[in-house]
A and B are shown apart, each in its own frame.
Chain A
Amino acid sequence: MTPRRRTQLIATTCLILSMGASVLLLHRVDEIRPRAVLEDVLYISSPKMVKRTSLGFDGLMACIYWTRTVQYFGHRHYERARTYNELAPLLEITTALDPHMIPAYQFGASFLAPAPPNGAGEPVRAIELMKYGIQNNPDNWHLYYDLGFVYYTELKDYKRAAEVFEQGSKVPNAHPFLKLLAAQMAEHANDYETARMLWTATYESSTESNIRQNAIEHLRSIRVDEEVTRLQQAVSRFEQQNGRLPTSLWELAAAEHLRGIPVDPDGNPYILSFDGQVQVSKPEDFPFITKGIPPDYKPSGPPKFHSKS
């Protein structure tokens, strides 16, 4: 073999072996390094710093951060995370870079305020975000809606909600439902009807799929809550009339002259427990219900959101 061939052979072998070795080693290193390092990457955590480093290309950085935000939330929500520590900073950075990125404010209203695992559980920060948004986009009536939404759903501060809806209704081209909501807040804040109005408004005025799905699930849950309440009232009536609990929902249905056994929005029949509680047969299909949950139910696995949006 000529010296040249020998050199080629040795070099090629060396190349292949070292490539393989370095890949293997990297694999090993990945296993040792804490997983947390790879997740929750914020790049830089302060809005001011991010603005500095973007060299004037704020708009693009905002888009990048927005993408990160949606991915971050989706990923953790799928894993039923208990904490969403980075959600608020991500949204704050996104909106600091681009104060006109409306979708970010709406995302914040829907997912920053509610408690985990459906949100970050930071209603105060959500409100700050909304106010910042309104300050920078005074012509956007929807932001008033989003702010009022947070007051209503998370803080249950119906007075403030009404004020905000009222303010929002004065913005030129505001959707008429703001005025309706303002009026509704004043008198029927706690009604299911009001809640339904709100979530329908959210569903119809957003094009972001996460927000729409979220709204649908809330609407479904409202229906379940309403039905369970009505059924529970029927059970009480039966007990009063007959001195005992109905043995089954068939009996109740017959007594109430219902057409058939009551079913939930998915078509599954409700269940009557031995101690007279109305329950849903599949609680995992209704993540937001507050009534009809079996007492020892614990949610597990990824949250099931209704696929139709």
Chain B
Amino acid sequence: MSARIVHIAANTFREAVRDRVLYNLIAFALLLSGAAIFIGQISIEIERLVVVNLGLTAVSLFGVVIAIFIGIGLVSKEIEKRTLYTVLSRPVRRWEFIVGKFFGLAGTLVVNTFFMAIGVFAALLYVAHKFASPDAFILVALYFIILEFLILCSLALLFSSFSSPLLAAVFTFSLFIIGSFADDLRGFAAMTHGITRWIATGASYLVPNFSTLNVISAVAHQQAVGGQLILQNTFYALFYTAMALSGAVLIFERRNLK
């Protein structure tokens, strides 16, 4: 069982690479280099601040775009192109297919983020000339960004399992935006009454909470991130991902392929 999942994941990774997804690293490198070199003209005091903010924000946004662009087609493209026929006629379980695809995409993003992380630290070294120990928290911020990616991949996969790529993109992107405002949504819910309150509260808990996973500004100011938060966020992301993946499996198990 696990071997098949690994093989599917590896093939999904291969597909992404051959789709030239890793070329985004070039754009990223150019962006960060440009910023690092020209930043001295703005203000000496905030060079470090800008590099960390810009770098981590770019890592996050580039990854979100990749997660959505590739994720929405993971299942629907295979159904559309009928490449699934010869896969499912083998001893592959339908749930293994979903899980394998997920790990393939997640793996692609982790590899991508790894290279980007090197870029961020290189740019930081360039403007700050040395590392300080609070810079280690940048790794925590990157870890949280990867947790964000896991959630987004699972959501994209969920939507891909039953709707067209376009709709899946719209749904996933909308959830990304709403998820960034999850705290505001909670606040809004608290101000309403009755049925609206139930709906709003429910929504604010079901929607992925991306604001808790965003510590970019804090680590840019070299503030520490608590171990408690790291632990809780890890579990939250894992459970949320499991929830979305379970949904995807449930839908896909019952789907008639055309």
Contacts and interface: CB of A to CB of B under 8 A. Distances in A.
Assess A/B contact in the complex (Cβ within 8 A).
Answer: yes
Interface residues of A, number: 20
Contacts of B53: 57, 59-60, 62-63
Contact of B49 (A55, A63, A70, A207): A63
Given A52-B181, A100-B221, A101-B49, A59 B216 contact: yes
A55 B177 contact: yes
Nearest to B214: A56
B49 A56 contact: no
Contacts of B211: 56
Contacts of B217: 58-59, 62, 98, 100
A47 B252 CA distance: 45
Interface string A69-104: 010000000000000000000000000001011110
Nearest to B148: A56
B257 interface: no
B220 interface: yes
B241 interface: no
A60 B100 CA distance: 35
B50 A63 contact: yes
Interface in A25-78: 52, 55-60, 62-63, 66-67, 70
B201 interface: no
B216 A57 contact: yes
17 contacts: A52-B181, A57-B216, A58-B217, A59-B52, A59-B57, A59-B216, A62-B53, A62-B217, A63-B46, A63-B49, A63-B54, A66-B43, A67-B42, A100-B217, A100-B221, A207-B44, A208-B44
Given A55-B181, A56-B180, A56-B211, 13 more contacts: A52-B184, A57-B53, A57-B216, A59-B52, A59-B57, A63-B46, A67-B42, A102-B45, A103-B43, A103-B45, A207-B44, A208-B44, A208-B45
